[in-house]
Amino acid sequence: MADENKERIYVIPLRRAFLNAPIYKRTKRAVSEIRIFITRHMKVDEVRIGSKLNELLWKKGNENPPAKVKVKTRKIENYAQVELENYPFFEKKETEEKEKKVEAKEGKQEHIKAEQSKEEEKLLKEGKAKEEIKHGPEPKKKEELKTKQMDEKIERTKRISKTQKSFIKHKEPKQAGSKVGH
């Protein structure tokens, strides 16, 4: 199959397909029609639509896709890439770059861990180490936490009638030392 990796150009008619769909699903139907057309003509299982083609389809919204599109396709293993005729295909970056990034991240993490362990050792040697360094911070008592949580929950769930709310809103704060009177 010498023709397997070559690019092909198709003009895909979309109007007949999306006119049978409800108006709010027309662009979605056009996208699925492109997938059906390419699987039929390129004999593949999976179709990957390019970003520029996708932008063109959705440009006028969900209700008004273009009537036909001129695309170029190419077959790679068991899938086909589809893009507008004048734009290049999306290329994946090589795995070597990914491996370098992963190695760099691992090296940074090891470096940070080594620095932390050195600092802890220095503190232990100087005798300044606290229980927090050895065992972590001391946990609070469960009873104290429960009572605080219960108090907060009670405050949140208190019901206040409408008259009380209006009274609270319009209540003026008292000023110390001032006399109210005639």
pLDDT tens digit sequence for 26-60 = 999 999 999 999 999 999 999 999 999 999 999 99
Residue 47's nearest CA partner among 105, 87, 98, 89 is: 89
Residue 3: pLDDT over 60: no
Q: Are 38 and 73 found together in one domain?
A: yes
What domain count does the chain have? 2
Q: Are 14 and 53 found together in one domain?
A: yes
Q: Are 47 and 71 found together in one domain?
A: yes
Residue 110 lies in a domain: yes
**Which residues span the domain enclosing 54?**
7-84
The one-letter code for the residue type at 83 is E
Average pLDDT over the chain reads: 78
Q: Are 65 and 116 found together in one domain?
A: no
Q: Which residue has better confidence, 87 or 80?
A: 80
Q: Are 41 and 108 found together in one domain?
A: no
Mean of pLDDT values over 154-181: 64
pLDDT tens digit sequence for 138-148 = 555 666 777 77
- How many whole angstroms separate alpha carbon 8 and alpha carbon 40? 13
Whether the pTM exceeds 0.85: the reply is no
Q: How confident is the model at residue 131 (pLDDT cuts 50, 70, 90)?
A: very low
Q: How confident is the model at residue 1 (pLDDT cuts 50, 70, 90)?
A: very low
Do 61 and 28 contact (CB within 8 A), yes or no? no
- CATH assignment at residue 77: 3.10.440.10
Q: Are 78 and 113 found together in one domain?
A: no
Phi, psi for 40 (deg, rounded to 5): -70, -45
SS3 for 44? coil
Residue 168: pLDDT over 70: no
Q: Are 13 and 79 found together in one domain?
A: yes
Residue 63 lies in a domain: yes
Q: Are 54 and 19 found together in one domain?
A: yes
Residue 38: Cβ within 10 Å count = 25
> Given this model, what pLDDT does residue 6 score?
80
